[in-house]
Amino acid sequence: MFFMSHFDKKTSQALRLVAVAATLGLAGLTVHAEEESALKGWSVYLGGAYIHVNVAPNHFTTDTPTPVDVAQAEHGTTAGLAVDDKATVGFGVVYRFNPKWSAELALGIPPEHSVTGTDAIQSFGQVALVKQAPPSAFLNYHFDEVLPGFSPFVGLGVNYTKFTRTRSTQAGDAAAGGPTKIKLSPSWGLTGHVGGTYQIDNHWSVVGTVAYADVKSTVTNTTEANVGDGPMTVVRKDKLNFRPLVYTLSVGYAF
């Protein structure tokens, strides 16, 4: 009887240990499943974006002598352009396939940039205003956490930039030799970004990124100029490389 009682106690203790281990294991699986679920599915984000534009050197040429060409001849330099930096509101949507991979559509409120003359036409100041809409699509790879709640990621994708509004200022008209219409062709190019996500809980997160896009456009300036023997239409074309860097900081929400 003593042996049977002792055996029953041992068996009961073993069963309890097995039950506790199973419970802990199930709890761990549940937590892991919740974490996995939090890193899958749809999410949106909203925040600020700062756009730094670095226009590559450019040179407008024409056979008709206008103030631009005269200034270039007098200064021995080309007529250049500089585009000012701009802050705007950025937002987007992300679909997380699994903890490692996601697809992202990055959008924002189109900012309007001030364009100023440089080199030979620096004295003219602001010569144009340009508004652009640059949606981008990314495929992102997410690394494991490097700090509690924080994980970095990298992404590569395609950028489409459409210039929705372009206009010459009075100073721009003066530099061109008369009333001028400006047209910029849309741009398709590669884009990439690096960033990091701080996961506050299963729904909320903070995301920061730095992105670069290859934005190239053909600009066409059409001027109704009064030069030489009388009024005439002067058309100038050039290719511009905007090379923007975009810094973002956003708050995200996962559904």
Q: What pTM was computed for the model?
A: 0.75
The stretch 236-247 carries a mean pLDDT of: 89
Q: Which residue type does 224 have? A: E
Q: 71 by DSSP, 3-state: which?
A: helix
Q: Which of 33-37, 93-97, 161-165, 187-191 has the lowest mean pLDDT?
A: 33-37
Q: DSSP secondary structure string, 13-33?
A: HHHHHHHHHHHHHHHHHHHHH
Q: Would you list the domain boundaries of the chain?
A: 1-38, 41-254
Please return the burial class of 195, using the count of CB atoms within 10 Å of its CB with bins 0-12, 13-18 and 19+.
buried
Within 8 A by CB and 6+ apart from 94, the residues are: 42, 43, 44, 45, 102, 103, 104, 105, 140, 252
For residue 191, pLDDT over 80 is answered with yes
Cα separation, 255 vs 249, in Å, equals 20
- Higher local confidence (pLDDT), 5 or 41: 41
The band of 92, judged by pLDDT with boundaries at 50, 70 and 90, is very high
- What burial class does residue 30 get, using C-beta atoms within 10 Å of its C-beta: 0-12 exposed, 13-18 middle, 19+ buried? exposed
Does CATH number 2.40.160.20 belong to domain 41-254? yes
pLDDT at 225: 80
Contacts with 29 (C-beta within 8 Å, 6 or more apart), sequence order: none
pLDDT score recorded for residue 240: 86
pLDDT value of residue 26? 44
- Residues of the chain with pLDDT > 90: what percent? 48
